[in-house]
Amino acid sequence: MKTLLIAGFQCKELNEVLSRLDFKLHYIDKYDQNNIPNNCALCLIDLRKGNIENEISHLVKSLVPKIHIIVLINKSQLEIKNITTFIAQYAWDFCTSPIDPERLEKCLGHGIGLSKLKQQHHEPKLEQTGKETEPSVYQSDVMQQLFRQVERVAPTDIPVLIRGESGTGKELVATKLHQLSSRKDRPLITVNCGAMAAGLIQSDLFGHEKGAFTGATSNRKGKIALADGGTLLLDEIGDLPAELQVNLLRFLQEGLYDSVGGGKSQSADVRILAATHVDLESAIDKGRFRLDLYYRLNGITINTPRLEERRDDIIGLANRFIRMYSNEYGLVAKPLSQSACHALLNYSWPGNVRELINRVRRAVVLCDMPQISAQNLELANIDKKRHIALSLKTLKDNAEKQALQQAILIADGQVELAASYLDISRATFYRLMDKHDL
């Protein structure tokens, strides 16, 4: 029997609906990434009682794209940007309160059906296909420049700080840096610095000795030791607790570290990559991040651009994901309709490539027409809203320009007088003239 993971606080009340389905229920804690059953099919996350989306996002990242996420929210939460971004990035589907048991049952049933389709397949990780640097997919100048930078930096042992918004491909860049280095035959190990409590990261990173703390029943190697000869990616480095920053700095400076409860310092030969979506400079200003650690990590910076900044790549990437997921689900790869292309190009992509993957994957499964439409991508209304917003802006701009022109005409070209007619300062008048090219 497949397992349904449940995260959040209120799901127990839904037991009646859940008991009608053929699931084993498994409640998880937000930090409990290590305790996910192998036969897990779906994850239901209840966000209705509080905005725990930030706390839970690390857990969720470890599930997606292998395990589909269904989110429960209150209707009013659709107005909250964090929530909608979270859904856009990670959710396969969502239900709003009051929860309609029939709708939830259908949604879970559909999710389980999909998971059965995938039963025999292990989702191919994009970075493992080895094709993601196909030039045809990376049309934009900014991405071509990024890949040239990756190729130049990879063979060196210089620490790299990869910066960019969530879902822009920081981990993908790290993987590429590793694959193109002489360390490629040794492991690439990732530590998520924001995912766990300080005590757990300490032991995760540096390892522990038997008896070091309650539950430490045997010696355990840390990720630094596991990465020996290879690469260590410190993901979300901006979230590393202060006390661990000191220990990490010592390792970066001296190549030495102590395991928890260990008496003797150990060494490891590891190339360090760090990734962050937070503004480290401002974390330094606020005293949350050590300047000396920042300098150690920041040998070279690579910035991963937002998807919005590289629109030339969007259609190529979307087509690539369509092929990939159609293949995976045993479906015919359908082309994008014109309206879908238009919507893809006009959307702002707050969740970046991760959101694109999510939308395309849903569309591949749900599309029952010969072409994938904007509706399948759930972008039809967004496009309309943007259109309305755009026309309002155009109307305002036009009105502003007309008012300026009339004022100049009536004031016979005297700027001071024209500005006074519009009840604005001379400086503002000049600024607006400049804006409208008058």
Ligand X SMILES: Nc1ncnc2c1ncn2[C@@H]1O[C@H](COP(=O)(O)OP(=O)(O)OP(=O)(O)O)[C@@H](O)[C@H]1O
Nearest distance from C-beta of residue 351 to ligand X, angstroms: 9
Contact segment (CB under 6 A) with ligand X among 40-48, 125-133, 387-395, 409-417 equals: 125-133
Nearest distance from C-beta of residue 420 to ligand X, angstroms: 52
How many residues touch ligand X (CB under 6 A)? 19
What pairing do the DSSP bridges indicate for beta strands 2-8 and 23-28? Answer: parallel
Q: Using CB under 6 A, pick the residue from 14, 126, 224, 404 that binds ligand X.
A: 126
| C-alpha radius of gyration, the chain, whole number | 26
82 contacts ligand X (rule: CB under 6 A)? no
Residues 232-291 that bind ligand X (CB under 6 A): 275, 277
Nearest distance from C-beta of residue 192 to ligand X, angstroms: 8
Nearest distance from C-beta of residue 343 to ligand X, angstroms: 19
Enumerate residues 6+ apart whose C-beta is below 8 A from 376.
340, 362, 363, 366, 367, 369
Choice between 46 and 355, CB closer to ligand X: 355
Contact segment (CB under 6 A) with ligand X among 5-13, 168-176, 397-405, 413-421 equals: 168-176
Choice between 159 and 207, CB closer to ligand X: 159
Token digits for 411?
Answer: 């004031």
Whether 259 contacts 208, CB under 8 Å: yes
Burial of 28 (0-12, 13-18, 19+ CB in 10 A): buried
Q: Using CB under 6 A, pick the residue from 8, 111, 167, 222 that binds ligand X.
A: 167
Choice between 107 and 317, CB closer to ligand X: 317
In the chain the first and final C-alpha atoms are separated, in Å, by: 71
* x/- track of binding to ligand X for residues 147-166 (CB under 6 A): -----------------x-x
Residues 297-356 that bind ligand X (CB under 6 A): 304, 317, 353-354
Closest CA to 226 of 259, 249, 198, 193: 259
Neighbours of 346 (CB within 10 A): 16
Choice between 168 and 337, CB closer to ligand X: 168
Q: Using CB under 6 A, pick the residue from 171, 204, 239, 383 that binds ligand X.
A: 171
178 contacts ligand X (rule: CB under 6 A)? no
Q: Rounded to whole angstroms, how far apart are CA atoms 150 and 304?
A: 11
Residues 367-396 that bind ligand X (CB under 6 A): none
Nearest distance from C-beta of residue 237 to ligand X, angstroms: 11
69 contacts ligand X (rule: CB under 6 A)? no
Choice between 61 and 68, CB closer to ligand X: 61
Q: Using CB under 6 A, pick the residue from 168, 266, 319, 358 that binds ligand X.
A: 168
Nearest distance from C-beta of residue 166 to ligand X, angstroms: 3
Q: Rounded to whole angstroms, how far apart are CA atoms 95 and 363?
A: 18
Token digits for 73?
Answer: 């929210």
Q: Which long-range contacts (CB under 8 A, 24 or more apart) does 318-322 make?
A: 318/344, 318/356, 318/360, 320/134, 320/137, 321/356, 321/357, 321/360, 321/361, 321/364, 322/360, 322/363, 322/364, 322/372
Phi and psi angles of residue 74, each rounded to the nearest 5 degrees, phi first: -85, 150
Whether 312 contacts 137, CB under 8 Å: no
| CA distances, 289 to each of 118, 126, 165 (Å) | 42, 32, 19
Q: Give the interface with ligand X as residue ranges (CB under 6 A).
A: 61, 126-127, 132, 164, 166-172, 275, 277, 304, 317, 353-354, 357
